[in-house]
Amino acid sequence: MAEYSFDLNPVQHLIADAVGEPGRRTFFIQGRADTELVSLVLEKQEVANL
């Protein structure tokens, strides 16, 4: 599995959300620091654990 590291310090904006119809949703988190935006697609349970 690939390993990634992002340093958004200090993070200015952090959200967890989903898009799409129930049963076919894509879950994600987004973090922003200055002009850098990172979006990560997650499993439903991973977002719930946050």
pLDDT at 49 over 80: yes
- How far apart CA 43 and CA 17 sit, in angstroms, is 11
pLDDT digits (tens, 9 = 90+) for 11-45: 999 999 999 999 999 999 999 999 999 999 999 99
Please report, for the chain, the start and end positions of each structural domain, with discontinuous segments joined by +: 13-49
Q: What is the pTM of this model?
A: 0.78
In this prediction, residue 50 carries a pLDDT of: 86
Question: 20, 21, 18, 8: which is closest to 45 by C-alpha?
Answer: 18
Whether residue 2 is predicted with pLDDT greater than 90 in this model: the reply is: no
Nearest residue to 47 via CA among 24, 30, 22: 30
